[in-house]
Structure 1
Amino acid sequence: MLWLDGVSHRGPEVEPFIRSLLGRPERFVLYIAGAGFDPRASHLALIVSKTPARRKGIFLRENRPEPEQELLDRAQANEDSLRKAFPDSEVIPIEIFDKDYAVVGGHRVVTELRRRLRDENGLEGITDVIVDMSAMSIGISFPIVGLLFELLRTCTDGPNLHVVAAAGGPEVETAIVAEHAENYQNPWGFKGARSPGDTPVRLWIPQLANPKKGAFGILFEELDPAETCPVFPFPAREPRSVELLLEQFGDELSRSWGVDPRQMLYAAEDDPLDLYRTLTRIHVSRKDVYDLLGQPSETVLSPIGSKALAIGALLAAMEHALPVAYVEARRFEVPPAGFNENVDPDRFVHVWVLGEVYPHPNSGSP
């Protein structure tokens, strides 16, 4: 496992770590984040802005059809806050859909960042690249981290790569209401490594989340997996988290998906590396068995719940070239009860993906 002994920080450890890492003026950070309506958009960026390190920012504004005015106003306020924190910054608008409603956001963001970072030497002098997934969709954040991982893992003297998120927890993440597209998508760069003509025995590992219940129905129907192993957050702050999800997904688990209790997976709610290790063990063990049988197999991840656990799925997908399946949000709506503005520092997450803390920095083997 690349990140078996990965460096990560959670909760109250994150802010002191950032201040320590960027506590010297010779550090130069490139901060990449979403500039949308999400209440979590600027909290970690403000911490970075208060350090002595030099800094510049690239902020992504995800645009979808027919946005509500309140969402536009909130996004503009977050953009203004990010620009103030990072005077040397650029906001890049990203259209998530084309005129025919095809999902193109991932391809567009990769094109924009590849030009700036590789073709125009945008990483020159940078000591640390931090990708803040707090206010990015999977269709944008996964391609960005995947691109940076490929660019930096072969650079012997390249910058460190970090992923952070203000995870928010279910009380924040379940407040965001989405109208989903009609089909599932793979984020750019996360279609997996299947050979043409393969008919693999497919294992689907969805990370359950109540507000996106409709998206799981689309995923199951279109993926048609042979096996399903859902992920439940445990341990979790809410003692009844697993019980509530069992109630909400009871019909799917027992009937549609045919899940045996022994197939249920558990991962610590705010620990990306816990889920990463679980996914890696399952995928490797399963692949070894099917390879002996001469039968292709496939492990498909759907990390559409917690931001913290999505980071764990991202690491497993990058290491093993696993396909990721999700359903893109066509538009967002203002929650009936309004947004939950409670961004709890105890739910901050950091993972050091590549760099100087590992025996072979940026060599593709942390």
Structure 2
Amino acid sequence: MDEKIAEISNLRWDPYVFFKNEECNIFFKKHFAENGINKKILFVLGLGFDPRMNFGIMELSKDIAPIEIEIVLLKFKQEKNKHSKKYKNLTDANLVELKSIKNVVLKEIQLNDVGKKREIEAANFFTKQLISDFTDVFLDISSLPRSIYFSTAGKILSLIDIVQVDSVINFFITTTENAEIDSMIKEVGINNDLEYQHGFGGQIEVVSKSIPKIWFPLTGEGKTNQFRSANQFIEPAEICPMLPFPSKDLRRSDNIYIENHDLFFNELQIESQNIMYVPEQNPFEAYKKIIKAADNYNKTLIELGGCKAVISSFSSKLLSIGALLAAYEYKNKKKKLSIGILNVNSMDYKIEDEKALKKSVKKSELFVNWLTGTPYQN
């Protein structure tokens, strides 16, 4: 367990509770062994072709059997894109695997809308009554689109904050990371019809253009076009790219820096001191760094009316959790500084090698981020 106390004061997730790899299995066994008969578990995930889809639920169900798990499976309207249809066999195989898990009750939810409407439809499925029925809620984002898990996670968090006045609900966001699989799933085209994330507009759409916007893009490989598109939409006064370091590949941040050198310094004229670094495998540290940087900018610009902050996630899903937490905290503290989220979605995906993709899933790493409940009670 990685539990740390930072120097920044008054942060909701400070200290935080975070597990990875074998720590997850140890935690599952210990947490659910205590009064396991009284535990009611909800596990939310999305149906997709990514072979990591069932990694988290299979680890959980293996470690806590025979405790029953209620699964909500979010299914999406069949896309017309040729690659999405091509990989239907992988999606079907994932569904068969999920249904083979013995100690689960599966409820499939079909989302029919697309775009912003789909974000709203997914979030609106979750209600106070639904969440109140469970002691432990898991949201696995391994096979969910960013637009869906940001809106869904925000809704679940807000509901739990209401319900927890009378009861304690443990909420976890889980994700399965595998850089090898990420490199095999190539994005095809980008959606330039941009909007701020549902639930995380940060009031940016209605602010005066005289209020400067500070942009914190979590940056990964091969995202140059997404970066340009988001920059044109946001029109930021300052850009602070956040690169992954330390990382498993010690040269990763250097490679991203080199790949984007011309974009950063010649095209967008970003100051070198604006480059920031966040640990590749710790979303809580990314969350704290975003808030500290946004706070500092707001204090500096207070005489001009402060600023608005925007986060974009062009990096791993694990790091994007840090963006979610930062935006959620400011939204609910109702501070003058608000943080909006703008992501640039892909039009489609293409898999380089399906056989290699399936083999690589065994090398995946599971991460469990504990956001509400027992460790945060006063």
TM-score (norm 2): 0.86
Q: Give the corresponding residue for 2:351.
A: 334
Residues 118-157 of structure 1 correspond to what in structure 2 (within 5 A)?
Answer: 118=128, 121-155=129-163, 156=165, 157=167
Distance of 2:304 and 2:278 partners within structure 1: 31
Q: Give the corresponding residue for 1:30.
A: 42
CA-CA distance at 1:346 after TM superposition: 6.6
Residues 259-338 of structure 1 correspond to what in structure 2 (within 5 A)?
Answer: 259-291=270-302, 293-321=303-331, 322-335=339-352
Distance of 1:92 and 1:72 partners within structure 2: 18
Distance of 1:346 and 1:277 partners within structure 2: 26
> Is contact 1:25-1:54 (8 Å) kept?
no
Of 69, 74, 78, the residue aligned with 1:60 is 74
After superposition, the Cα gap between the structure-2 partners of 1:250 and 1:344, relative to the gap in structure 1 and judged at 3 Å, is farther
Deviations 1:41-84 (A, max 9, x none): 00011012221332100011233332434321111111222233
Distance of 1:191 and 1:161 partners within structure 2: 23
Higher relative contact order, chain-length normalized (CA < 8 Å, sep 6+)? 1
CA-CA distance at 1:124 after TM superposition: 4.4
> Is contact 2:20-2:368 (8 Å) kept?
yes
3-state DSSP of counterpart to 2:100:
helix
> Is contact 1:10-1:271 (8 Å) kept?
no
Residues 7-156 of structure 1 correspond to what in structure 2 (within 5 A)?
Answer: 7-23=17-33, 24-50=36-62, 51-52=64-65, 53-63=67-77, 64-68=79-83, 69-85=85-101, 87-95=104-112, 97=114, 102-111=115-124, 113-114=125-126, 117-118=127-128, 121-155=129-163, 156=165
CA-CA distance at 1:355 after TM superposition: 0.7
> Is contact 1:34-1:136 (8 Å) kept?
yes
After superposition, the Cα gap between the structure-2 partners of 1:30 and 1:353, relative to the gap in structure 1 and judged at 3 Å, is same
Distance of 1:261 and 1:302 partners within structure 2: 19
After superposition, the Cα gap between the structure-2 partners of 1:338 and 1:216, relative to the gap in structure 1 and judged at 3 Å, is farther
Distance of 1:251 and 1:186 partners within structure 2: 27
> Is contact 1:67-1:332 (8 Å) kept?
no
Structure 1 unaligned regions, length at least 5: 361-366
> Is contact 1:184-1:222 (8 Å) kept?
yes
Distance of 1:280 and 1:308 partners within structure 2: 17
Matched, 1:201 2:216: no
Distance of 1:330 and 1:195 partners within structure 2: 24
CA-CA distance at 1:247 after TM superposition: 1.9
CA-CA distance at 1:93 after TM superposition: 2.5
Residues 205-216 of structure 1 correspond to what in structure 2 (within 5 A)?
Answer: 205-216=216-227
Identify which range, 248-257 or 133-142, moves more after superposition: 248-257
Identify which range, 217-226 or 69-78, moves more after superposition: 69-78
Q: Give the corresponding residue for 1:348.
A: 366
CA-CA distance at 1:239 after TM superposition: 1.4
3-state DSSP of counterpart to 1:215:
helix
> Is contact 2:168-2:374 (8 Å) kept?
no
3-state DSSP of counterpart to 2:219:
coil
Distance of 1:339 and 1:177 partners within structure 2: 14
> Is contact 2:218-2:312 (8 Å) kept?
yes
Distance of 1:304 and 1:20 partners within structure 2: 35
CA-CA distance at 1:127 after TM superposition: 0.8
> Is contact 1:10-1:270 (8 Å) kept?
no
Deviations 1:210-235 (A, max 9, x none): 23322111101111111111111100
After superposition, the Cα gap between the structure-2 partners of 1:337 and 1:209, relative to the gap in structure 1 and judged at 3 Å, is farther
RMSD of Structure 2 on Structure 1 (CA): 2.1
Identify which range, 63-72 or 152-161, moves more after superposition: 63-72
Q: Give the corresponding residue for 1:227.
A: 238
Residues matched between the structures, number: 349
CA-CA distance at 1:307 after TM superposition: 1.3
3-state DSSP of counterpart to 1:154:
helix
Percentage of pairs with the same residue: 20
Deviations 1:268-299 (A, max 9, x none): 111111101101111122222323x0424111
Identify which range, 56-65 or 274-283, moves more after superposition: 56-65
Amino acid at match of 1:220: N
Structure 2 unaligned regions, length at least 5: 1-10, 332-338
Q: Give the corresponding residue for 1:173.
A: 182
CA-CA distance at 1:197 after TM superposition: 4.3
> Is contact 2:176-2:365 (8 Å) kept?
yes
Matched, 1:245 2:259: no
3-state DSSP of counterpart to 2:153:
helix
Identify which range, 336-345 or 221-230, moves more after superposition: 336-345
3-state DSSP of counterpart to 1:340:
helix
3-state DSSP of counterpart to 2:51:
coil
Distance of 1:337 and 1:36 partners within structure 2: 14
